[in-house]
């Protein structure tokens, strides 16, 4: 009769079994993250089809979301077929586990045009429900650039206030305040983000992996524009933005990597291509009244003409391999616990 394995062997078996999920979801750089792979990882075939030409279950994205029952606790796919859907879309807190799957960021568009004194009010797309995934969709606020410091100033493309939200191969377009990355743990992979001033802002804990950041000039103001305005309020807050690989480029005037929004603002650019669009100073404390001693604006092994650090502001940190390591790990956003796949 076979004897059961000794206790240490059981522990080893448990460890190996538990690790399988992580290894399976941490894909290699050669793997293409596409909608079939994401669909496989979330393990569902429940699909609601949205087709602007009436060949699906709904013609409106919001109508499809409205059809998801309150308290939904199993993954459901909302397939947004190609087309330009001219509507504002909101996923409320009581509708988690939605996978919004498009046909590609150049093919499936959610577009609206609105400026407001209130960032959230202006947002074309709002997600507040946890466990959200988007793939292959572009979110665009088409409002024209208004007058600086007025109610015409805010034109948000996406307001992300959900915990455990991931965007793969998506696009975010606006002229000002493009991505309100408000709160929660977020992952952006191979996505495109375009804007001019503070166009990635908020106090979320987010990783931007292999993303394209494109700056456009804003002629309304004498200051340089800034890519990020991260609002970490204190040392105990775990928020921050980490940009890993990808590239930053643009047209027009030079751009700062970030400006201080909160006293402990935290932004890291690591292994990113920085074009000549980046101002030599790199960072700014424009409009911030506090000191720079608690700011965590940092860089690690960036490359390109904008990566020259010889004229950087005094408070920027040039990180060592040991110092940057926690930020390069997917554990920064606890990704092993909730992400379907990551690179």
Q: Is residue 27 part of a domain?
A: no
Q: Which residue is catalytic, options 181, 198, 218, 253?
A: 198
Instruction: Report how far residue 274's alpha carbon sits from residue 215's, in angstroms, rounded to the nearest whole number.
Output: 12
- Give pLDDT, residue 5: 41
Q: Is residue 251 part of a domain?
A: yes
Contact 64, 47 (CB under 8 A): no
pLDDT in tens, 68-110: 999 999 999 999 999 999 999 999 999 999 999 999 999 999 9
Residue 101 belongs to domain spanning: 35-337
Low-confidence ranges of the chain (pLDDT < 70): 1-24, 29, 145-153, 218-224, 286-290
Asked if 198 is an active-site residue, the reply is yes
In angstroms, what CA-CA distances link 282 with 28, 105, 201, 225, 306? 32, 30, 17, 11, 8
- Give pLDDT, residue 75: 98
How many independent structural domains does the chain possess? 1
Instruction: Report how far residue 137's alpha carbon sits from residue 194's, in angstroms, rounded to the nearest whole number.
Output: 14
Instruction: Report how far residue 89's alpha carbon sits from residue 187's, in angstroms, rounded to the nearest whole number.
Output: 20
User: Quick one: which of 206, 38, 48, 65 has its CA closest to 135?
Assistant: 38
Q: Which residues contact 66 (CB under 8 A, 6 or more apart)?
A: none
Q: Is residue 8 part of a domain?
A: no
Q: Is residue 19 part of a domain?
A: no
Q: Which residues contact 11 (CB under 8 A, 6 or more apart)?
A: none
Query: What are the beta bridge partners of residue 185?
Result: 205
User: C-alpha dihedral over 94, 109, 188, 341, to 10 degrees?
Assistant: 80
- Give pLDDT, residue 248: 97
User: Quick one: which of 124, 120, 68, 76 has its CA closest to 99?
Assistant: 76
Q: Is residue 304 part of a domain?
A: yes
**Helix/strand/coil for 233:** coil
Q: Is residue 263 part of a domain?
A: yes
Q: Which residues contact 20 (CB under 8 A, 6 or more apart)?
A: none
Q: Is residue 165 part of a domain?
A: yes
Q: Is residue 29 part of a domain?
A: no
User: Quick one: which of 154, 162, 161 has its CA closest to 122?
Assistant: 154
pLDDT in tens, 216-267: 876 655 556 789 999 999 999 999 999 999 999 998 777 899 988 888 999 9
- Give pLDDT, residue 312: 96
In angstroms, what CA-CA distances link 243 with 23, 111, 189, 207, 329? 23, 26, 10, 6, 12
Contact 257, 288 (CB under 8 A): no
- The CATH number linked to 136 is 2.160.20.10
């Amino acid at each position: 009769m076979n004897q059961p394995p000794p206790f240490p062997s059981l522990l080893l078996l448990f460890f190996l079994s538990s690790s399988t999920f992580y290894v399976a979801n941490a894909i290699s750089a050669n793997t293409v993250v596409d909608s079939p792979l994401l669909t496989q990882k979330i393990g569902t075939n429940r699909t609601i089809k949205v087709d602007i030409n009436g060949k699906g279950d709904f013609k409106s994205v919001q109508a499809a979301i409205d059809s998801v029952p309150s308290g939904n606790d199993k993954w459901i796919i909302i397939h947004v077929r190609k087309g330009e859907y001219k509507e504002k879309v909101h996923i409320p807190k009581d509708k988690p586990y939605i996978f919004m799957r498009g046909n590609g960021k150049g093919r499936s568009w959610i577009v609206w045009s609105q400026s407001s004194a209130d960032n959230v009010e202006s947002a074309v797309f709002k997600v507040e429900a946890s466990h959200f995934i988007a793939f292959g969709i572009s979110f665009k606020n088409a409002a024209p650039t208004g007058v600086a410091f007025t109610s015409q100033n805010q034109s948000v493309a996406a307001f992300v206030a959900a915990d455990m939200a991931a965007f793969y191969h998506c696009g975010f377009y606006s002229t000002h305040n493009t991505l309100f990355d408000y709160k929660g743990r977020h992952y952006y992979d191979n996505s495109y983000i375009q804007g001019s001033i503070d166009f990635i802002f908020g106090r979320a804990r987010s990783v931007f992996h292999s993303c394209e950041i494109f700056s456009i000039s804003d002629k309304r103001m004498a200051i340089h524009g800034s890519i990020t305005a991260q609002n970490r309020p204190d040392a105990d807050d775990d928020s921050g933005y980490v940009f890993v690989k990808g590239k930053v480029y643009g047209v027009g005037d030079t751009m700062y990597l970030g400006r201080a929004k909160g006293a402990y603002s935290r932004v890291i650019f690591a292994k990113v291509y920085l074009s000549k669009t980046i101002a030599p100073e790199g960072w700014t404390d424009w409009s911030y009244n506090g000191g720079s001693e608690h700011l965590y604006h940092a860089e690690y092994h960036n490359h390109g003409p904008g990566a020259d650090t010889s004229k950087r502001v005094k408070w920027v940190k040039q990180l060592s391999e040991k110092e940057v390591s926690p930020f390069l790990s997917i554990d920064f956003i606890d990704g092993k616990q909730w992400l379907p796949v990551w690179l």
